[in-house]
Amino acid sequence: MRRETILNVGIPGLLLAIGLLAYALDETYIITLATRAAILALAGVGLNIALGLGGLVSLGHAAFFGIGGYAMGILAFHAQTYMPLWGVIGGTTSMPIIWLVAVIASGLAALVIGALSLRTSGVYFIMITLAFGQMLFYFAISWPAYGGEDGVSIYMRNNFPGLNTLVPLNFFLICFAVLAVVLIFAGRLGKSPFGLALQATRQNVARVEAVGLAPYKLRLMAFVLSGAITGLAGALFADLNRFVSPSMLSWQMSGEIMVLVILGGIARLSGPVAGAMVFIALEYVLEDLSHYWHIYLGAILLLVVLFARGGLVGLIAGREVAHD
């Protein structure tokens, strides 16, 4: 087996082991941290499709994360207040339905934002995705129906058929299972015909056009898949916190998702998982040491960018072997 293949199993395996060990040791807080890591990793796996495979530096992925979060918040809010949405659609507390809505809503948002943003490239693309993110952020702040700046609190965690989701381990396992399924999908995506074409657009647009494939369409499809997955993560994140607020839509959130992808390794399948685990661990350790833990995080990030371009996964597995 190639080293990278081992890591692709080992890194998520480690996360699962941490969750289970924490359960065995009755460390509820650690289970929550592991859950958080799984969810942020999922958001990163989403971003990595656009960023890693497509080379699309989106600084607006919080938009999709937040839309997923609000999809959960709004549906659960209407369920807990027994007030149908627009007078007709009752809310729901069913996770699968919420996930579906989150995926569709964030996917559609990515379709619109992508369709407009992908007409630009380079710095302009970064700026325009950032601008769309900010637009949604301010919209959420000034939208009183769902708490405006204060956001929406949900009293009960949503339901999953056959499981008590209030048990921390159960919710962790749900999030981990979602992550695992999406990782398998993302892994296959990278090796698919679409994955090859998409990776080619990152390297040479003229080549892709010359073989008769449309880079714009390939990128748009990548952006939609990417946004939808990050949106799914947003729904889980809101469920974990039982709270959704505009902060999920903030550019800092976009930055955080991007940081953990860079930390773990851009375009490396298990990169975001490694990145999220390290990110959460640093947050946990350093936050105790210093209120300004982001400074240390910044320094570590700088080291990764300067000395380990493939992130943590690249550091361990070496340069990616392109064939297969």
- Contact residues toward another protein (CB under 8 A) are 185, 188-189, 191-197, 199-200, 203-204, 206-214, 217-218, 221, 225, 322-324
The smaller minimum CB distance to another protein, of residues 194 and 293, is found at 194
SS3 of 84, please?
coil
Token pair for 80: 């807990």
State the nearest-atom distance from the C-beta of 219 to another protein, in Å.
12
State the nearest-atom distance from the C-beta of 96 to another protein, in Å.
22
State the nearest-atom distance from the C-beta of 198 to another protein, in Å.
9
The smaller minimum CB distance to another protein, of residues 51 and 130, is found at 51
State the nearest-atom distance from the C-beta of 205 to another protein, in Å.
9
**Distance between CA atoms of 2 and 40, rounded to whole angstroms?**
26
**On the CB side of 53, how many CA atoms lie within 13 Å of its CA?**
30
State the nearest-atom distance from the C-beta of 192 to another protein, in Å.
5
**Distance between CA atoms of 289 and 269, rounded to whole angstroms?**
32
Question: Are the C-beta atoms of residues 320 and 268 closer than 8 Å to each other?
Answer: yes
Question: Are the C-beta atoms of residues 5 and 320 closer than 8 Å to each other?
Answer: no
State the nearest-atom distance from the C-beta of 155 to another protein, in Å.
39
The smaller minimum CB distance to another protein, of residues 69 and 195, is found at 195
Instruction: Decide: residue 119, CB within 10 A, 0-12 exposed, 13-18 middle, 19+ buried.
Output: exposed
The smaller minimum CB distance to another protein, of residues 120 and 192, is found at 192
**Distance between CA atoms of 118 and 252, rounded to whole angstroms?**
22
Q: State the DSSP string of 136-204.
A: HHHHHHT-GGGTGGG-EE-SSPPBBTTB-TTSHHHHHHHHHHHHHHHHHHHHHHHHSHHHHHHHHHHH-
The smaller minimum CB distance to another protein, of residues 199 and 250, is found at 199
Token pair for 255: 């930055």
The smaller minimum CB distance to another protein, of residues 157 and 219, is found at 219
CB count within 10 Å of CB 294 equals 17
SS3 of 62, please?
helix
State the nearest-atom distance from the C-beta of 233 to another protein, in Å.
19
Among the listed residues 303, 268, 322, the one whose alpha carbon sits nearest the alpha carbon of residue 41:
268
The smaller minimum CB distance to another protein, of residues 306 and 322, is found at 322
Rounded to a whole number of angstroms, the CA Rg of the chain reads 19
